[in-house]
Amino acid sequence: MRFLIALLCGMFCQQVLALSVTFINPGRSDETYWVTAGKAAQAAANSLGIKFEQIYAERDHLRVLEIARSLAARPKESRPDYALLTNDKQTLLSTVRILDRAGIKSFAAFNGLTDEERAQFGEPRSGVSGLLGSLEPHGSDAGYLTARALIKEGLRLRLQAPDGKLHLLALAGDRSTPSSLQRNQGMQRALAEQPDVVLDQQVYADWRRDKAGEQMSWLMRRHPQARLIWAASDQMAFGVLDVLEHARLTPGRDMLVSGINTSTEAMQALINGRLSALAGGHFMCGAWSLVMLYDYHHGRDFADEGLELSKPMFILFDKNLAERFLARFANEGRAIDFRGYSRVLNPSRRHYEFDFELLLK
Q: Contact 276/153 with Cβ under 8 angstroms?
A: yes
Q: Are 137 and 114 in contact (CB under 8 A)?
A: no
Neighbours of 242 (CB within 10 A): 16
Residue 3 has pLDDT above 80, yes or no: no
pLDDT per position as a tens digit, 119-156: 999 999 999 999 999 999 999 999 999 999 999 999 99
| Per-residue pLDDT, 178 | 86
pLDDT of 274 higher than 90: yes
Which one has a higher pLDDT value, 336 or 283? 283
pLDDT at 302: 97
Q: How confident is the model at residue 332 (pLDDT cuts 50, 70, 90)?
A: low
**CA neighbor of 87 nearest in space, from 66, 109, 71, 65:** 109
In this prediction, residue 357 carries a pLDDT of 83
Predicted local distance difference test score (pLDDT) of residue 10: 41
| pLDDT score of 25 | 98
The span from the CA of 149 to the CA of 229, in Å, is 12
pLDDT at 9: 42
**Mean pLDDT for the chain?**
93
pLDDT score for 331: 59
Residues of the chain with pLDDT > 90, as a percent, come to: 87
pLDDT (0 to 100) of residue 65:
98
Average pLDDT value for residue range 3-15: 42
Summarised one tens digit per residue, pLDDT across range 90-111 is 999 999 999 999 999 999 999 9
Q: Where is average pLDDT lowest: 4-8, 28-32, 175-179, 326-330?
A: 4-8
Residue 334, pLDDT score = 58
The number of angstroms, rounded, from the C-alpha of 293 to the middle of its chain's C-alpha atoms is: 18
| Mean pLDDT along residues 2-18 | 46
High-pLDDT (> 70) share of the chain, %: 94
Average pLDDT over residues 252-262: 97
Query: Residues with Cβ < 8 Å from 245, sequence gap 6 or more?
Result: 251
Give the integer Cα–Cα distance in Å for 233 and 253: 21
- What is the distance between the alpha carbons of residues 45 and 228, in angstroms, rounded to a whole number? 41
**DSSP 3-state assignment of 195?**
coil
Q: Which domains does the chain have, with CATH numbers?
A: 19-137+283-360 (3.40.50.2300), 140-280 (3.40.50.2300)
What mean pLDDT do residues 255-265 have? 97
Predicted confidence band at 17 (pLDDT cuts at 50, 70, 90)? low
Look at the alpha carbons of 111, 336, 21, 65 in this order and tell me if their dihedral is positive or negative. positive
- The half-sphere exposure of 87 on its side-chain side, counting CA atoms within 13 A, is 27
**Residue 221 parent element (H or E):** helix 209-222
pLDDT tens digit sequence for 54-79: 999 999 999 999 999 999 999 999 99
Question: Cα–Cα distance between 203 and 36 in angstroms, integer?
Answer: 26
Order of strands, sheet of 166-172, starting from the edge strand that comes earlier in the sequence: 197-204, 166-172, 228-231, 256-260, 277-280, 315-317
Q: Give the residue with greater pLDDT, 18 vs 222.
A: 222
Cα-Cα-Cα-Cα dihedral sign, residues 163, 166, 171, 172: negative
Query: What pLDDT does 205 receive?
Result: 98
Where do the H-state alpha helices sit in 18-57? 32-48
Mind listing the pLDDT tens digit for each residue in 171-186? 999 998 888 999 999 9
CA 314 to chain centre: 9
137, 289 Cβ separation under 8 angstroms? no
Q: How far apart are CA 184 and CA 144, in angstroms?
A: 8
Average pLDDT over residues 319-328: 93
